[in-house]
Amino acid sequence: MIRNLVGIIMTGHGTVQTAVAAMKTGAFDYVLKPFKLNTLLPLLSRAMEVRSLRMENIQLRETVAIHELGKVIAFSSDLNAILNKVADATLQQCTADEVSIMLPTRDGKELYVAVSRGGHREYIVSVCLWSGVLPAWVARNRETVIINGKVDDPRFSPVNPRADIRAAVPCR
């Protein structure tokens, strides 16, 4: 769903069925042609108000989520509680399907999955390790890497994430 758009359908061949279908798919309004400008201007004004309210609502939800995350971090000494809250917030704010947080092992040479959320939880652990190449590189170089689909970077030649992963951002 594109949250920052308000859709208005204009047609010269409208039916009740197409109007209902348009509204069910999220159209703000359904206008039949021919129309007069004086009927369209108030509609556009209302659409702009609705868009503004939607954007404000999104910003408020994000602010509340950041505030809640900040409270957990500030008032908790439990690392697992903090990591779980960060994973939940990331899943929600990024509208991601899966999230995993990896931490360095005691020797700092490898990373392990500390928390995971999302659809294929049992698969996340093995996928995140990606034969250990990418997490080890991120841990060693302390550099963020963005992966989108097939990996052609020679530094990560053995890395072959699942085909359905559109983007992965291993962070330092």
- What are the tens digits of pLDDT across the range 78-103? 888 889 888 888 887 777 777 878 78
For the stretch 105-142, pLDDT in tens is: 788 766 777 888 876 555 554 444 444 566 666 666 76
pLDDT score recorded for residue 30: 94
Average pLDDT, the chain: 78
Q: Residue range 149-161: average pLDDT?
A: 61
User: What is the amino acid identity at position 67?
Assistant: H
pLDDT at residue 41 above 70? yes
pLDDT score recorded for residue 100: 78
Instruction: Please provide residue 164's backbone torsions phi and psi, each rounded to the nearest 5 degrees.
Output: -85, 0
Query: How far, in whole angstroms, is CA 13 from its chain's centroid?
Result: 37
Percent of the chain with pLDDT over 70: 66
**pLDDT band at residue 144 under the 50/70/90 scheme:** low
What SS3 string covers the chain? CCCCCCCEEEECCCCHHHHHHHHHCCCCEEEECCCCHHHHHHHHHHHHHHHHHHHHHHHHHHHHHHHHHHHHHHHCCCHHHHHHHHHHHHHHHCCCCEEEEEEECCCCCCEEEEEEEECCHHHHHHHHHHHHHHHHHHHHHCCCCCECCCCCCHHHCCCCCCCCCCCECCCC
Give the least confident one: 15-24, 74-83, 90-99, 163-172.
Answer: 163-172
Q: Residue range 155-172: average pLDDT?
A: 56
Instruction: Please provide residue 117's backbone torsions phi and psi, each rounded to the nearest 5 degrees.
Output: -140, 150
Which range in 46-50, 64-68, 131-135 is most confidently predicted, on average pLDDT?
Answer: 46-50
